[in-house]
Amino acid sequence: MQTHKETVRRIAMVGYEGAQALDVVGPMEVFATANLYKPAHIPRYELILASPIGGLINCSSAGGIRLGDAVALEALPEDIDTIIISGGSEGGLRNVIFETDLITWLTSRARSVRRLASVCTGAFVLAAGGFLDGKRATTHWNSVDLLKKLRPQIEVERDAIFVSEPPVYTSAGITAGVDLCLAFVEDDCGAQTALSVSRQLVLFMRRPGGQAQFNPGLATALTATPRLRNLLNEILADPTGDLTGPSLALRAGMTERTFSRSFRKETGTTPAQFVEDARIDRAKMLLETADWPLARIAERSGFGSLHALHRVFQKRLGITPGFYRDRFGMK
């Protein structure tokens, strides 16, 4: 006869004052829906909403959302399978890191759980506890620089939806926690269950961890001075052809040295990096919308060769162009 411990996987979703409501509710909904579709022999998920002191959780949302009946950390059962830390406001994060016993509690449980995960800025909690040192990790796109600055021991992945460094997992901003938890469901219950959950919740059949969080090129162009903005928009509109430093400097009417210095000052990146980002974005768009051969997509996105396209996708996204097309291309 199976015991209760053998028939459930307990998921502790940890919130706190100032937590982002969707960081909490989104992942919990994924696991709850998985219970409806999982094979009979697979343990069901038991979801536990937790917080440092239990009771009501006042979320960071402007609408005053409150989540109730949270279990205090000290009252949680021993046999927890997965712990997930939600993201939240700056003040909420600071308080939960420095004014509660959450870090101490996580340290006491880290070795006994199968997975320790974060959603969005919840990565700062894991970072504060040292759980991400020497590992790759990600967080909300607007917080990656701060995470790198505060904890240089972490290899921060700017463009990832989620990063797996078992037994530690981190996800990007807010809804990316859903993608991470869909990946957990796929690992636990199989691809068919994850697909059923995706359909029920009207989601992608999960985005791979390498898909970028947003288009950084557009944001860069908007913040540049008018003189440089025109050139940036031209690159974004057509990332093919000769976009080397000397060629771009000539188009901008500057010496190569002045152009390089001005470019970095205004955009925070190098011309070569911006061009590569623009070409990746164009390749993604073509992979999503066109049924062209990969070699043609490489040419039309400015990479010149299929080898170059594969190399950049593997280096920057951790996946192949073919895999990206399988996930996001028109069916």
Q: Does residue 302 come out as left (phi exceeding 0), alpha (psi in the -120 to 50 range) or beta?
A: left
State how beta strands 44-51 and 55-58 pair.
unpaired
Distances from the Cα of 267 to the Cαs of 7, 103, 244, in angstroms? 53, 37, 17
In 157-281, DSSP assigns E strands to 162-165, 168-171
State how beta strands 8-14 and 44-51 pair.
parallel
Cα separation, 299 vs 101, whole angstroms = 55
Residues of the chain with pLDDT under 70: 1-6, 61-62, 204-223, 328, 330-331
Q: Which fold would CATH assign to domain 216-328?
A: Arc Repressor Mutant, subunit A (1.10.10)
pLDDT digit string (tens) for 252-298? 999 999 999 999 988 888 999 999 999 998 998 898 788 899 999 99
pLDDT of residue 217: 57
pLDDT of residue 24: 97
The 3-state DSSP class for residue 1 equals coil
List the chain domain ranges.
Answer: 4-200, 216-328
pTM of the predicted model as reported, rounded to 2 decimal places? 0.68
Residue 244 is given by DSSP the state S
CATH of domain 4-200: 3.40.50.880
169 in Cβ contact with 116 (< 8 Å): yes
Residue with tokens 């974005």, as numbered in its chain:
281
Of 30, 326, 327, 79, nearest in space to 186 by CA = 30
pLDDT of residue 3: 42
pLDDT of residue 189: 95
Cα separation, 320 vs 300, whole angstroms = 17
